[in-house]
Amino acid sequence: MIRLVVGLGNPGKEYERTRHNAGFWLVERFASANGVMLRKDGKFQALVGRHESAFLLMPQSFMNGSGRAVQMLAGFFKIKPEEMLVVHDELDFAPGVARVKQGGGIAGHNGLKDISQRVGSHDYWRLRIGIGHPGDKDAVADYVLQKPSAEDKTAIDQSIDRALQVLPQMIAGDMQSATQKLHSGEPKPVEKKEPPKQDAPVKEPEKKPEPQKSGGLLKSLFGKK
Whole-number CA gyration radius for the chain: 17
Catalytic annotation, pick one of 20, 88, 109, 133: 20
For residue 107, count CB atoms less than 10 angstroms from its CB and return exposed for 0-12, middle for 13-18, buried for 19 or more.
middle
Per-residue DSSP letter, 52: T
| Closest of 120, 122, 118 to residue 107, by C-alpha | 122
Q: Report the greatest alpha carbon distance in the chain.
A: 54
How far, in Å, CA of 159 to CA of 142, rounded? 23
How far, in Å, CA of 219 to CA of 206, rounded? 14
How far, in Å, CA of 165 to CA of 199, rounded? 31
Per-residue DSSP letter, 51: E
The 3-state DSSP class for residue 209 equals coil
20 has catalytic annotation: yes
Catalytic positions are 20
